[in-house]
């Protein structure tokens, strides 16, 4: 016992940190921390673009990383509810607990969509705080970037100017890019789409596209043949132009729908790393818009 | 608006500064002019911003900016703990065995021989398990608490009631109260998280029919600051639960220690391995034994009990995304040594046994067992699994009582296969077929159809 405490003290004393250790739950917010902090950030991203962030488990490797983190950057709005609370509590790291400066939730700083008025699981796996996939509206990314830069500067005061400068450079480039994307995406306005899961509401809302249905009968419930058939029947009266899915969702249901309805099934990168082109946040939106444009052509 | 304010200010200045000479007035006028200019600039800037915002507003999609983020609800009940309720029950088809003891192992408690003596594990036909009510919340920035109350007909039992530290730092975690011990792998998991309808034989042999060891005490854990997961833990508790007994004394009645190591291998694989040790003492621990004639006798063990456990879990899913397919392998081994005295006597005077009024002898055992199981989720809704388990009655030295008691060397075995269907994360139904050879001379083919439903808060599950 005394031995244990001795080790704890020795290691805590040794690990005078050189970098800000960031534990990002999802690739998009990890990429943003990298844009702001550059090489001052030691980044660990808990999931990749091929993993459904709802369904990750509290793996030993995640606990080991959370133990050492100075800042946890989460999507929030209950996206990580199945694993992150446990990882935080069992990490023995007081700096990253809820309510501490070392815990940052992106969803807190944006206007969330699809906030349910009735919270009942009869509607599937609904999130009481609204749809958590906020990053696909680039204006949200900018809002989060400002708050995240401030938080990073607060936690690592020695490098505060680096983070503020990193944010300023990113924001300038990002605003130019938003203008470009909005111009490029003009033909997408008013296009009706089906989605596998409600992963794209912020994207479709931003671009003025119309999300007219989901392949999942309820959020988090797998597509059933009955539900797909009813969507197909509805195509007669309310046609969708394409079916959207993320890199981590099975392609079967959207391929089926696309084949029967004669519309393209579109895989969008959804997050950084979801396609080879989506190497960073800029690439994510560039590629997303190119893929959407290709589908309406 | 701004202008009238400036005018009013000028008037006020003029009326109160009658005595001021021309130079002063000129200075004041200059100041006011400056103020005016500054205000006008700011107004112009604001107007420009407004125009920009309006322009952007019309260029964005016509869709209304949907509901803004909800302000935090200020209701008093927002401090209520997270509540969830687990509903579990089954239909079982198996042989009529009133006492499901494991041959060759000291049972956890004496069986009631009377009417209606059949307890949970031996119940045939339809039955409802206890419903677990889980309440959990952060107590303050430093502590979190959780209670699990199990409700059965006419009684409620506190399964767990503990607090946990949030702010100790340095990777240290402290837990106190009644909690499932951190030894082994399955021990910390509640029945609704099990992959099979029942606990492995190994857990029943080690800890009785509940299939887990619960401490009333404290647990101190430390997580190493390394990229590989290394966790060391130690526990001190009352030690009232089998294989120990309540002994009405100061100090600790049981102690446990464990080390867990784990990591990922590539993106698709993760694993955890552990070694644990539990030491406790028993005083007149009662259990049914059989005398050489096959008549039930009462055994009372007093002495030390020490258990080693080793556990290993390995999980795989394509790209590390368990949603569609995943595979889980888990195996555990235990080895227990018990050393002390055994008092053997008649269960009741109506059934005399070889032990008669009571024979005291030494008692030394060294027993072991293991299980291994694999569960494969092949579609989002369906999983299938196989489990094999085997125990070894091992070395048993009963001294003088060896002549009075039935001591058959036996290796209890059980094979189980299950398939389950989940409508969502919160509801599951399972069919399990098992061949149970845990009782000498009985081959029991069992069928279990079980449901597990969770209501309420979305709790996070351990790896």
Domain count, chain A: 2
Query: Which chain B residues have a beta carbon less than 8 Å from that of A86?
Result: 460-462
CA–CA distance, B336 with B276 (Å, rounded to integer): 12
Chain mean position to CA A122: 25
Sequence-ordered list of residues with C-beta below 8 angstroms from that of B304, at least 6 positions apart, any chain: B279, B280, B281, B282, B337, B338, B339, B340
- Burial of residue B10 (CB within 10 Å: 0-12, 13-18, 19+) is middle
User: What DSSP string runs through chain A?
Assistant: -HHHHHHHHHHHHH---SSEEEEESSHHHHHHHHHHHGGGEEEEES--TTS-TTS--B-HHHHHHHHH-SEEEE--TTTTTTTHHHHHHHTT-GGGSTTSTTEEEGGGGS--S---SS--GGG-S--TT--S-GGGSHHHHHHHHHHHHHHHHHH-GGGHHHHHHHHHHHHHHHHHHHHHHHHHTGGGTT-EEEESSS--HHHHHHHT-EEEEESSSSTTSPP-HHHHHHHHHHTTTS--SEEEE-TTS-SHHHHHHHHHHT--EEE---STTSSTT-SSHHHHHHHHHHHHHHHH-
Q: Is residue A122 domain-shared with residue A199, that is, in the same domain?
A: no
Window B:31-50, CB contacts with A under 8 Å: none
For residue A132, what are the CA distances in angstroms to A109, A243, B57, B297?
Answer: 12, 20, 24, 63
Q: CB–CB of B229 and A61 under 8 A?
A: yes
Exposed, middle or buried, B123 (CB in 10 Å: 0-12/13-18/19+)?
A: middle
| C-beta atoms of B267 and A48 within 8 A | yes
B447–A contact, CB cutoff 8 A: no
Token pair recorded at residue B147: 């209670």
In the numeric block, which tokens belong to residue B210?
Answer: 């509940």
The answer to whether residue A160 neighbours chain B at the CB level (below 8 Å) is no
Tokens, residue A170: 């990113």
Q: How far apart are the first and last CA of chain B?
A: 65
Q: Output A183-192 pairs: Cβ under 8 A, ≥24 positions apart.
A: A184/A289, A184/A293, A185/A289, A185/A292, A185/A293, A187/A293, A187/A296, A188/A289, A188/A292, A188/A293, A188/A296, A189/B61, A191/A241, A191/A242, A191/A292, A191/A296, A192/A238, A192/A239, A192/A240, A192/A241
The predicted pLDDT at position A18 comes to 59
Note the pLDDT of residue A255.
95
Q: Does A59 touch chain B (CB under 8 A)?
A: yes
For residue A167, give its domain range.
17-178
Q: What is the pLDDT of residue B113?
A: 55
Per residue in A234-283, pLDDT tens? 999 999 999 999 999 999 999 999 999 999 999 999 999 999 999 999 99
CA neighbor of A212 nearest in space, from A231, A225, A226: A231
| Average pLDDT estimate for B258-280 | 97
Cβ neighbour number for residue B396 with a 10 Å cutoff: 18
* Same structural domain, A105 and A58: yes
Cα gap B319→A250, rounded to integer Å: 13
Q: Judge if A154 and A199 occupy the same domain.
A: no
B residues 201-260 closer than 8 Å to A (CB): 220-232, 234, 260
Decide which of A147, A178, A209 is a domain's last residue.
Answer: A178
* pLDDT score for B22: 65
Whether A259 is in a domain gets the answer yes
Looking at the structure, do residues A97 and A206 belong to the same domain, yes or no? no
DSSP B267: T
Express each pLDDT in B405-455 by its tens digit: 888 899 999 999 999 999 988 999 999 999 999 999 999 999 999 999 999
Same domain, A240 and A152: no
Query: Which DSSP string do the residues of B290-326 spell out, in sequence order?
Result: EBTTS-EEEEEEEEEEEEEEEEEEEEE-GGG-TTT-E
CATH of the domain at A265: 3.40.50.1980
pLDDT of B20:
46
Same structural domain, A132 and A159: yes
Q: Which two tokens stand for residue A292?
A: 């959407």
- A169 and A271, same structural domain? no
Q: Does A119 touch chain B (CB under 8 A)?
A: no
Say if A9 falls within a structural domain: no
User: Domain ends where: A132, A147, A178?
Assistant: A178
The answer as to whether A116 is a domain residue is yes
Of A54, A60, A222, the CB nearest to B463: A60
Contact flag A82-B461 (C-beta cutoff 8 Å): yes
Phi, psi at A215, each rounded to 5°: -70, -30
Among the three residues A148, A178, A208, which one is the final residue of a domain in this structure?
A: A178
Q: Is there a contact between B174 and B164 (Cβ–Cβ < 8 Å)?
A: yes
Could you tell me the pLDDT band of residue B256, with boundaries at 50, 70 and 90?
very high
- Tokens for A77, please give them: 């709005």
The verdict on A117 and A67 lying in the same domain is yes
Residue A257 lies in a domain: yes
At residue A15, the pLDDT reads 45
A114 contact residues in B (CB cutoff 8 A): 66
Q: How does pLDDT run across B17-70, given as a tens digit for each residue?
A: 444 456 666 766 777 777 776 777 776 666 666 655 554 544 333 333 444 444
Residues A138 and A266 in one domain: no
Contact A37, A73 (CB under 8 A): no
Residues A211 and A137 in one domain: no
Q: pLDDT for B372-404, tens place per residue?
A: 999 999 999 999 999 999 999 999 999 988 888
Name the burial class of residue B294, with classes exposed (0-12), middle (13-18) and buried (19+) by CB atoms within 10 angstroms of its CB.
exposed
Instruction: Name which of B332, B255, B347, B247 is nearest B294 in CA terms.
Output: B347
Q: Is B285 left (phi over 0), alpha (psi -120 to 50) or beta?
A: beta
Choose between B145 and B112: higher pLDDT: B145
Average pLDDT, chain B: 86
In-domain check, residue A4: no
Say how many CA atoms lie within 13 Å of A288 toward its Cβ.
Answer: 31
Whole-number pLDDT of residue B117:
52
Q: Are residues A119 and A217 in the same domain?
A: no
Mean pLDDT, chain A, integer: 92
Distance CA(B462)–CA(B443), nearest Å, equals 35
Q: Residue B223: its chain A contacts at CB < 8 A?
A: 63-64, 67, 90-92
Contacts of A112 in chain B (CB under 8 A): 67-70
Q: Are residues A97 and A79 in the same domain?
A: yes
In a domain, A2, yes or no: no
What SS3 class is residue B45? helix
Task: Say what the pLDDT of residue B17 is.
Answer: 43
User: Touching check for A178 and chain B: CB below 8 Å?
Assistant: no
Interface test with A, best of B68, B175, B223 (most A CBs within 10 A): B223
**Residues B271, B313: contact at Cβ < 8 Å?**
yes
| List of chain A residues with pLDDT < 50 | 1-3, 6-17
* Cβ-proximal residues to B383 (8 Å cutoff; 6+ apart), any chain: B195, B375, B376, B377, B419, B420, B422
Comparing C-alpha atoms, which of A205, A237, A230, A236 is closest to residue A215? A230
Give a yes or no: residue A10 inside a domain: no
Query: In 3-state terms, what secondary structure has residue B80?
Result: coil
A3 domain residue, yes or no: no
Cα B377 to Cα B418: distance, rounded to the nearest angstrom: 12
Contacts A46 to B, Cβ<8 Å: none
The predicted structure's pLDDT at residue B129 = 85
């Amino acid at each position: 016992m005394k031995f244990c405490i001795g080790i704890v003290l020795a290691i805590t004393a040794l690990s005078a940190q050189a970098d800000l250790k960031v534990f990002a739950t999802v690739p998009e917010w990890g990429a943003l921390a990298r844009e702001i902090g550059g090489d001052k950030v030691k980044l660990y991203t808990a999931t990749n673009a091929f993993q459904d962030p709802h369904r990750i488990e509290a793996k030993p490797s995640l606990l080991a990383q959370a133990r050492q983190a100075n800042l946890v950057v989460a999507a929030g709005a209950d996206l990580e509810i199945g694993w992150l609370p446990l990882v935080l509590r069992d990490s023995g790291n007081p700096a990253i607990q809820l309510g501490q400066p070392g815990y940052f939730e992106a969803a807190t700083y944006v206007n969330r969509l699809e906030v349910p008025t009735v919270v009942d699981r009869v509607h599937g796996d609904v999130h009481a705080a609204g749809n958590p996939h906020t990053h696909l509206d680039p204006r949200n990314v900018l809002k989060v970037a400002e708050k995240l830069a401030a938080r990073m500067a607060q936690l690592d005061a020695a490098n505060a100017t680096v983070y503020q400068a990193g944010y300023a450079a990113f924001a300038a480039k990002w605003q130019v890019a938003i203008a470009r994307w909005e111009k490029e995406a003009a033909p997408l306005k008013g296009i009706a789409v089906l989605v596998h899961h409600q992963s794209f509401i912020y994207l479709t809302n931003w671009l003025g596209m119309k999300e007219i249905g989901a392949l999942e009968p309820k959020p988090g419930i797998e597509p059933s043949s009955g539900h797909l058939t009813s969507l197909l029947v509805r195509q007669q009266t309310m046609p969708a132009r394409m079916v959207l899915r993320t890199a981590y969702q099975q392609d079967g249901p959207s391929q089926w729908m696309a084949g029967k309805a004669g519309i393209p099934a579109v895989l969008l990168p959804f997050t950084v790393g979801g396609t080879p082109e989506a190497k960073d946040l800029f690439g994510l939106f560039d590629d997303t818009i190119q893929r959407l444009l290709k589908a309406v052509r | 608006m701004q202008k009238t304010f400036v005018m009013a200010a000028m008037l006020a200045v003029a009326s109160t500064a009658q005595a001021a000479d021309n130079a002063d007035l000129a200075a004041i006028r200059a100041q006011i002019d400056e103020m005016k200019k500054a205000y006008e600039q700011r107004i112009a800037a604001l107007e420009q911003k407004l125009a920009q915002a309006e322009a952007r507003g019309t260029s964005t999609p016509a869709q209304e900016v949907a509901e803004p983020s909800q302000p935090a609800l200020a209701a008093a009940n927002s401090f209520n703990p997270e509540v969830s309720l687990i509903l579990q029950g089954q239909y079982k088809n198996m042989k009529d065995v009133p006492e499901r003891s494991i041959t060759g192992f000291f049972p956890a408690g004496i069986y009631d021989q009377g009417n209606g003596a059949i307890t949970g594990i031996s119940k045939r036909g339809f039955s409802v398990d206890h419903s677990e009510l889980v309440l959990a919340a952060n107590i303050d920035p430093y502590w979190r608490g959780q209670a699990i109350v199990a409700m059965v007909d006419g009684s409620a039992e506190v399964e767990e009631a503990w607090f946990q530290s949030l702010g100790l730092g340095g990777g240290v975690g402290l837990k106190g109260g009644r909690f499932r011990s951190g030894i082994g792998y399955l021990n910390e998991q509640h029945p609704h998280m099990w992959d099979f309808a029942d606990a492995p034989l190994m857990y029943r042999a080690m800890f009785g029919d509940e299939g887990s060891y619960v401490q009333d005490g404290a647990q101190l854990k430390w997580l190493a600051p390394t990229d590989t997961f290394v966790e060391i833990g130690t526990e001190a508790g009352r030690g009232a639960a089998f294989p120990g007994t309540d002994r009405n004394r100061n100090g600790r009645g049981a102690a446990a220690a464990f080390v867990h190591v784990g990591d990922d291998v590539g993106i698709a694989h993760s694993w955890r391995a552990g070694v644990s040790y539990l030491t406790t003492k028993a005083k007149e621990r009662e259990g049914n034994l059989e005398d050489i004639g096959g008549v039930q006798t009462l055994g009372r063990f007093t002495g030390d009990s020490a258990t080693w456990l080793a556990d290993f879990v390995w999980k795989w899913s394509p790209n590390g995304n368990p949603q569609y397919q995943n595979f889980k392998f888990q195996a555990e081994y235990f080895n227990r040594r018990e050393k002390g005295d055994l008092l053997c006597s008649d269960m009741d005077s109506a059934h005399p046994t070889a032990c008669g009024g009571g024979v005291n002898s030494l008692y030394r055992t060294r027993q072991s067992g293991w299980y291994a199981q694999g569960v494969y989720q092949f579609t989002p809704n369906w999983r299938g699994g196989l489990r094999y388990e085997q125990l070894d009655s091992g070395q048993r030295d009963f001294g003088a009582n060896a002549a009075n008691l039935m001591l058959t060397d036996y290796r209890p075995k059980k094979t189980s296969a299950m398939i389950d269907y989940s409508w969502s994360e919160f509801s599951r139904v399972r069919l399990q077929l098992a061949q149970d050879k845990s009782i000498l001379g009985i081959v029991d083919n069992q069928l279990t159809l079980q449901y597990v439903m969770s209501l309420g808060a979305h709790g996070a599950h351990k790896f």
